[in-house]
Amino acid sequence: MNPCFYWIDRPVSFRPGETIAAALLRAGIADLGAGGGIVPGRVFCGIGACQACVVAVLGEGAVEACLTPARPGMRLAPPPSLGPHHERAGHE
Amino acid sequence: MSEQAMSELPILVVGGGPAGVAAAVSLAEAGLRVLLVEQRERLGGAIHRQPAPDAPQIWRGPARHRRNWTQLTSRLERVAARIELRTSSVFLGVDGAGRFLCEDRRAGQVFARPVRAAIVAVGAVERIRPFEGWERPGVMSAGGAQVLLKETGRPPEGPIVVAGSGPLLLAVAAQLARAGNPPLAVLERGKPWSRPKALASLMMAGPQLAEAAAYATALALNRVPYRLDSEVLGVSEAGQGLAIRVRLGTVERVLQARQLLVHDGLEPNRVGISLPAPEADVPVVLAGDGREIVGADAALLDGQRAAAAVLARLGRAVPVAALEAALGKARAFQRDLADALKSPPTLPSPETMICRCEGRRYADFTALPAEASAREIRLMGRFGLGACQGRFCGPTLAELRGEPLPPASPPRWPLRPVSLAALASFSMDQTET
């Protein structure tokens, strides 16, 4: 059985060596949520340049899903503190 | 620092694609120490991107690229003792003290090292001509889709449309077809037949023409239509997928697809990289597509040219006339290609998002005073200052204003998100600890 990480509460399995982005897309998760911003995140440029696929890793920080190898047990969510509405993020 | 201590410092090379690796190898072969930093787990860059350990390799690429990369990596192995390779390490920028900061994402640690010189070879970013809905999930850059395809060996599921302009559309479409999911259509905005002169010069290019013919054959075998003078007008959500409004010549239609891959050419990835004066103590040289879009073949030569520039600064001039001549040919090819596919700018609709990071639309841009300064465009308009630092709206803003926004000065670093924990475990020089 393939290892898995969690997108919010949903388990997402991945193949060893795969990036977070590849695993999310294969699971049909294209909309990465607006988080603290106003435009939903999504995998776009694949090279860490556009920052649209930045996800929050619980206990670590924010990383580009397209660059970051998936690890078993990681807990991922839309980043709460990116975009123009970051000042509100703490109250929502 | 004494001259001897200085001479023992490495040359930093940022970026492990053909230009960066060629630069690193050339410097190491000349007897210098090199610190080579690459953001992914494996070297290769966009062109020589390697599949993940267990993933199938669906497309091995043109023979000349494979040969070039095999030769380069075997040279790399011979001088490996002089090259410190840091993979999974992201270049964050240059701090106020002129230190080059990188984050080792595997170790969760930011590091800076005193270096003798730096070569920045971070490749290209794709240009995107915005249309209504381009910011939606399901729309991806063609290059981004290619990264996933090369690394996983699997195409995305469901119907795909590929649109925009440039040779990458052909390449990605052919690779998708080979991987088992040929796109519904490839829409190229350009009208090369209206530019016979540029087209005629392109016909003189040997290897690139053969490569294009191989892609065209793959598309023909899979009955993928390649439509010229065609473009996406807008995208909206439709059930599980996308409704893509397109113009095919003079006819408008709606295509239903799961994915839309867009691409309108390449720009050097220059954001946040400030170049000191040429005579600075620590020279910084750009190489490859990150300096000028020259293509994969010429990126190898440009890496060597950058290494030669660093060696010249260290008093060891090497002849570069042959390199410059070959680069001139690559430049002419890129110019002919751009000419052949050139299309007039299209004015975005008011609802078209220009800056995805900050969610700013064309209507927000036109609401700015006509004489708005670059500072006002950034601070009042909130264009060109989001998380991507203007890499994607930059070319659009340049077209709309008639001139590019000047780079932020001083550059904003970190260029990438970095965790406080990684900053807290900052290391100045791991060789001294």
pLDDT score for A13: 97
Spatial neighbors of B324 by CB under 8 A, at least 6 apart, are: B305
pLDDT score for B299: 96
pLDDT score for B429: 64
Question: How confident is the model over A25-59, as pLDDT tens digits?
Answer: 999 999 999 877 789 999 999 999 999 999 999 98
DSSP assignment string, B79-128: TGGGEEEE-SEEEEEE-TTSPEEEEETTTTEEEE---SEEEE---EEE--
Question: How confident is the model over B57-106, as pLDDT tens digits?
Answer: 777 778 888 999 999 999 999 999 999 999 999 999 887 777 889 999 99
Whether residues A52 and B356 touch (CB distance < 8 A) is answered with yes
pLDDT score for B124: 96
Cβ of B392 under 8 Å from any chain A Cβ? yes
Chain A residues in contact with B135 (beta carbon < 8 A)? 39, 42
Cβ of B412 under 8 Å from any chain A Cβ? no
pLDDT score for A59: 86
**pLDDT band for position A88 (cuts 50, 70, 90):** very low
Contacting B with CB below 8 Å, chain A residues are 15-19, 21-22, 25-26, 30-32, 37-52, 54, 60-64, 66-69, 82-84
Residue scoring higher pLDDT (B43 or B54): B43
The B residues from 263 to 322 touching A (CB cutoff 8 Å) are: 269
Question: How confident is the model over B277-332, as pLDDT tens digits?
Answer: 888 889 999 999 999 999 999 999 999 999 999 999 999 988 999 999 999 999 99
CA distance A3 to A16: 8
pLDDT score for B1: 61
pLDDT score for B204: 74
Contact B145, B287 (CB under 8 A): no
CA distance A24 to chain B (A): 11
H or E segment and range at residue B70: helix B63-78
Is the pLDDT score of A84 beyond 70?
no
**pLDDT band for position B259 (cuts 50, 70, 90):** very high
Whether residues A43 and B55 touch (CB distance < 8 A) is answered with no
Contact B282, B98 (CB under 8 A): yes
Two tokens at B183?
């796109």
ipTM above 0.90, yes or no: yes
**b or e along B356-366 (b: 16 or more beta carbons within 10 Å of the residue's beta carbon)?**
bbbbbbbebbe
Mean pLDDT of all residues belonging to chain B = 91
- Smallest CA–CA distance from A52 into chain B, residue: B357
Tell which residue, B104, B215, B81, B241, has the closest CA to residue B159. Answer: B241
Question: How confident is the model over B387-420, as pLDDT tens digits?
Answer: 899 999 999 999 999 899 988 877 888 888 888 8
Whether residues B418 and A43 touch (CB distance < 8 A) is answered with no
Crossing angle between the packed helical segments B18-29 and B63-78, to the nearest 10 degrees? 40
Contact B112, B101 (CB under 8 A): yes
SS3 B312: helix
What's the whole-number mean pLDDT along residues B371-375? 91
Two tokens at B322?
């042959």
Two tokens at A15?
């193949």
Exposed, middle or buried: residue B249 (CB in 10 Å: 0-12, 13-18, 19+)?
Answer: exposed
CB-nearest to A19 from B151, B382, B392 is: B151
H or E segment and range at residue B119: strand B117-120
Chain B residues in contact with A61 (beta carbon < 8 A)? 417-422
What's the whole-number mean pLDDT along residues B160-176? 95
The sign of the dihedral angle between the CA atoms of A64, A68, A70, A74 is negative
Two tokens at B429?
């020089």
Whether residues B135 and A66 touch (CB distance < 8 A) is answered with no
Contact B207, B64 (CB under 8 A): yes
pLDDT score for B96: 72
What's the whole-number mean pLDDT along residues B219-233? 94
CA distance B80 to A88: 50
H or E segment and range at residue B91: strand B89-94
pLDDT score for B202: 77
CA distance A7 to chain B (A): 16
Cβ of B145 under 8 Å from any chain A Cβ? yes
CB-nearest to B359 from A31, A39, A60 is: A39
Whether residues A42 and B145 touch (CB distance < 8 A) is answered with no
Q: What percent of chain B has pLDDT over 90?
A: 69
Q: DSSP secondary-structure letter at B55?
A: S
Cβ of B126 under 8 Å from any chain A Cβ? yes
CA distance A60 to chain B (A): 7
pLDDT score for B109: 93
Phi, then psi, of A89 in degrees rounded to 5: -55, -35
Is the pLDDT score of A90 beyond 50?
no
What's the whole-number mean pLDDT along residues B256-282? 91
Spatial neighbors of A9 by CB under 8 A, at least 6 apart, are: none
Contact B199, B340 (CB under 8 A): yes
The B residues from 15 to 54 touching A (CB cutoff 8 Å) are: 39-41, 46, 52-54
pTM of the full predicted structure?
0.93
Is the pLDDT score of A89 beyond 70?
no
Chain A residues in contact with B136 (beta carbon < 8 A)? 40, 42
Whether residues B140 and A43 touch (CB distance < 8 A) is answered with yes
- Residue ranges of E strands in B198-332: 226-227, 230-238, 241-248, 251-257, 259-263, 266-268, 284-286
The B residues from 191 to 250 touching A (CB cutoff 8 Å) are: none
Q: Name the residue type at position A68.
A: T
Chain B residues in contact with A21 (beta carbon < 8 A)? 148
Question: How confident is the model over B188-223, as pLDDT tens digits?
Answer: 999 988 887 777 777 777 778 888 888 888 899 999
Chain A residues in contact with B138 (beta carbon < 8 A)? 30, 42
Chain B residues in contact with A65 (beta carbon < 8 A)? none
CB-nearest to A62 from B90, B359, B417 is: B417
Q: What percent of chain B has pLDDT over 70?
A: 98
